Amino acid sequence: MVSDPEPALLPEVDPRTALAWQQAGEAVILDVREASEYEFENIPGSVLLPLSFLDPSRAPAIFDRTVVVVCAMGKRGATAQKQLSEFGLRRIHNLRGGILAWKQAGLDVQGGKYEAMDYAI
């Protein structure tokens, strides 16, 4: 009995490369965390499409470019990447390390976390 070969590994991308792609208009950053996580902290210019509602037909305009999937640390991103590839999308990269790696690389984030901070004396 011959078993099916292991599926090809889906590609990952580091935060700085993802940012360069985004700034060049070559990629869209798709955040698959839940809305509350996204509102708290997100990558500027990213698009929210939670994994719990993931359906490529909900945001067809973004799928003409490379998609960089982001979550908190990379696990949900990999799951979303697999689901999107099952829909036939091929230019999908998981952000290695998620938004945590993005912040560790010193890249900008935005969201309610920062708006709620009180800097008053």
Q: What is the pLDDT of residues 4-39, one digit of tens each?
A: 333 456 899 999 999 999 999 999 999 999 999 999
What tokens appear for 93 in the block?
């990269």
Percent of the chain with pLDDT over 90: 64
H/E stretch holding 31 reads strand 27-31
Which pTM value belongs to this model? 0.83
Q: Which residues of the chain have pLDDT under 70?
A: 1-9, 58-61, 114-121
Distance CA 102, CA 84 (A): 22
Domain 12-108 belongs in CATH node 3.40.50.1970: no
* Distances, alpha carbon 3 to alpha carbons 6, 8, 55, 85, 86, in Å: 9, 15, 30, 22, 20
- Residue 56 φ/ψ region, left for φ over 0, alpha for ψ in the -120 to 50 degree band, beta for the rest: alpha
Q: Dmax of the chain from CA atoms?
A: 72
